[in-house]
Structure 1
């Protein structure tokens, strides 16, 4: 069982209070602190502060990971790749950021939206989009194999793969995504690696069908609000992980790193 705040999350806990996770051996370790403005959980039988309310556990049957920012530290590389691919065009960095924040989509959707701001004739627009997508893809293909994995990614994947079916669910084109996963020696750890042209919601539904489980037994791990929205739309559980590109609100439920994921699942507390 687990406890979280019922209403005002910042005032409900004493100033400076942190949440703690209790291991199966009885050990207790500090989790994310309230000083960072994140929603955290106290695991154990006793309410950790006045006003905390009990939330139910759920049984995880499958774990699904976003790729960029969750398994590899690629968000900055991919953002810079847009600047590189569009460097010859009169588009500002602010325009690129605005289109990136405009909603879910793959590289082609995002570049199309950026180029559309130039209001070019149809044939010219299509040519520039195709050329820019190719430049972006080539840049990512050259740099992604060199970027570091996120903290404890390989360790966490190896631990969880022994207990759960694992999947990757990304907005990266599927063939490219599979090459990235394979380059890191992770292919054998995943039952499936899925990307565009399917949406993340469609992929989660496909995974639930393949595993013959209720979507509510799937835990999707992501680093963006769009990941959380996809999980909700598919009826799955979600937990965020901190990354350079994370865009969650201040009180979002976040793990500091994948190192905390196995423990989170073991005491699985749903969002409240």
Structure 2
């Protein structure tokens, strides 16, 4: 594809760790949510959570009960825990600082569409973006319980975006896998040396480097 005539159609962005520095708020939320359970079990969940950014709280709550506590959890019980998690973390997430460059990038006019695609609860995410004053910057805001892979697929289908002109910006291997499963580009927001990020198309320290990364990979083959 000729770089001189290339144009991005859509930029999809994760939220926690890409727009806001809110990953720590989510981590502490799980500790508070299950504070009445054995500390060793809670820390096992925290390790799983930190290794699997991009997966929903619904999945992680089920994992906690089924894989760590070794007992079943009903959909109703899972949803009650998910609602309490939201109540515990929402304001802390809102109070988290922006990733450097994220607020300006989100509010700027672009020649492409932008969508948020997060593992966070969809209704919670839409409320948070509304309170932050950035919701109108995005053509769509999507989250759990629908898995990220399916949300990305749905965005491509609904808008007719070409995979080769669409990119996902994320901060976890699960974000990378969602991009690859849908045949789109991936830019990792990750520290230098993060092994998983090497499998993406570009790496940035923060969103101050996103314009350059988009320019660098424009016109490549996915």
> Which TM-score band applies after superposition, normalised by the shorter structure?
0.7 to 0.9
Distance in 2, matches of 1:207 and 1:66, equals 14
Give TM-score scaled by structure 1 length. 0.69
**Which stretches in structure 2 are left out of the alignment for 5+ residues?**
none
Q: Which structure has the highest helix share of the two?
A: 2
For 2:212, which of 254, 263, 267 is the aligned residue? 263
1:26 corresponding residue in structure 2: none
Q: Which structure has the highest strand share of the two?
A: 1
CA RMSD of aligned residues (A): 2.7
Shift, 1:130, TM fit: 4.7
Change in Cα spacing, 1:61 to 1:131, as seen in structure 2 (3 Å) is closer
Deviations 1:185-230 (A, max 9, x none): 1111111111112221211122212322222211100000110111
Give the conservation status (yes or no) of the 8 Å contact 1:224–1:240: yes
Distance in 2, matches of 1:205 and 1:250, equals 22
Change in Cα spacing, 1:222 to 1:271, as seen in structure 2 (3 Å) is farther
2:58 corresponding residue in structure 1: 108
Change in Cα spacing, 1:196 to 1:132, as seen in structure 2 (3 Å) is closer
Give the conservation status (yes or no) of the 8 Å contact 1:166–1:191: yes
Change in Cα spacing, 1:271 to 1:148, as seen in structure 2 (3 Å) is farther
Residue 114 of structure 2 corresponds to residue 163 of structure 1:
no
Query: What SS class does the counterpart of residue 203 from structure 1 fall into?
Result: helix
**Which stretches in structure 1 are left out of the alignment for 5+ residues?**
2-55
For 1:176, which of 108, 113, 124 is the aligned residue? 124
Give TM-score scaled by structure 2 length. 0.84
Structure having the higher Rg: 1
1:20 corresponding residue in structure 2: none
